[in-house]
């Protein structure tokens, strides 16, 4: 049953990404006034403009799919925890069944405690933050999340186009900037989140394969910039001149190595590291 649920999530994520892009494009085209220099799929426009619009749409869809992929990896891990809690163990006697139920109750309490404000503060302190810093981080999280919700609400009310991916990452980006990369990495570790981009597979004939990347590698830096997630990596590939050679720092079996590849799509699948 657990595998069926996970498989359903994986297949639904791709469909959701495509559908989300389609309806977002449709919404913006119908409800948002278009500027004179806007590029759409109007057949009356030049081939160059229509190709440019198609490239933009493909890029947006790719980013949305990568964001969903990260969420699927995270939710899969959470589903496995819930499955362990919900599915009774096969036991041969009532005493064993009672011990199993006690164990599940204990684990539920552990999860509740870990996700409470007090539990999260303890995790941050264990990661090296002072208690006052931990309290500030938790408070700042709430403030930034509320600010992102308010920005989205204001944009929808005014009819302005919304950059959904930017809004989704707004609070995390702001917190990273305020903490700095070193403290942000500790913050991610305290919350059991990825701190590198885990490579699940490498696409044939891709820049990643030519550069020698392998499943199990973890991308640490791209062109000198720290990347903590697939979203970070995608952003960095779009900075600078396409095709320009960039250095990529990779963790492999605990060792840091460096490869070179042209700036652009890397050619991997990956997501959050699963603990």
Q: Are 214 and 199 in contact (CB under 8 A)?
A: yes
Give the residue from 142, 140, 138, 164 showing the smallest Cα distance to 151. 164
Confidence tier at 204 by pLDDT (50, 70, 90): very high
Most confident of 42-51, 91-100, 105-114, 136-145: 136-145
Alpha-carbon distance 160 to 31, whole Å?
A: 9
Confidence tier at 56 by pLDDT (50, 70, 90): low
Alpha-carbon distance 86 to 99, whole Å?
A: 15
Statement: residue 198 has pLDDT above 90: yes
pLDDT, residue 194, reads 85
* Backbone conformation region of residue 72, classed left if phi is above 0, alpha if psi is from -120 to 50, else beta: alpha
Sequence-ordered list of residues with C-beta below 8 angstroms from that of 94, at least 6 positions apart, any chain? none
Q: Are 212 and 259 in contact (CB under 8 A)?
A: yes
Q: Which domains does the chain have, with CATH numbers?
A: 2-99 (no CATH), 117-190 (no CATH), 197-271 (2.30.42.10)
Give the single-character DSSP code of 90.
Answer: P
From 93-107, 155-169, 195-209, 211-225, the region with the lowest mean pLDDT? 93-107
Statement: residue 245 has pLDDT above 90: yes
Convert the pLDDT of each residue in 118-163 to its tens digit: 999 999 999 999 999 999 999 999 999 999 999 999 998 998 888 8
Convert the pLDDT of each residue in 171-185 to its tens digit: 999 999 999 999 999
Q: 201 pairs with which residues across the strands?
A: 269
């Amino acid at each position: 049953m657990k595998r069926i649920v996970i498989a359903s999530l994986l297949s639904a994520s791709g469909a959701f990404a495509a559908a989300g892009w389609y309806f977002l494009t449709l919404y913006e085209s119908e409800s948002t006034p278009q500027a004179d220099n806007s590029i759409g799929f109007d057949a009356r426009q030049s081939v160059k403009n229509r190709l440019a619009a198609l490239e933009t749409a493909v890029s947006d869809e790719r980013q949305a799919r990568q964001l969903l992929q990260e969420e699927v990896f995270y939710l899969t891990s959470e589903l496995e925890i819930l499955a362990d809690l919900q599915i009774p163990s096969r036991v041969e006697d009532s005493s064993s069944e009672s011990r199993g139920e006690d164990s599940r109750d204990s684990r539920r309490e552990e999860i509740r405690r870990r996700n409470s404000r007090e539990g999260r503060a303890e995790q941050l302190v264990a990661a090296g933050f002072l208690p006052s810093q931990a309290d500030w981080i938790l408070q700042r999280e709430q403030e930034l999340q509320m600010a992102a919700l308010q920005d989205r609400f204001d944009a929808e009310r005014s009819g302005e186009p919304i950059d959904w991916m930017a809004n989704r990452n707004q609070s995390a980006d702001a917190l990273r900037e305020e903490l700095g990369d070193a403290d942000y990495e500790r913050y991610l570790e305290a919350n059991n989140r990825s701190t590198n981009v885990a490579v699940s597979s490498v696409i044939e004939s891709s820049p990643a394969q030519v550069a020698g990347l392998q499943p199990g590698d973890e991308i640490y830096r791209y062109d000198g910039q720290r990347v903590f997630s697939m979203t970070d990596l995608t952003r960095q590939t779009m900075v600078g001149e396409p095709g320009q050679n960039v250095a990529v720092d990779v963790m492999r079996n605990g060792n840091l190595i460096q490869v070179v590849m042209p700036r652009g799509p890397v050619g991997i699948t990956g997501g959050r590291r699963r603990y």
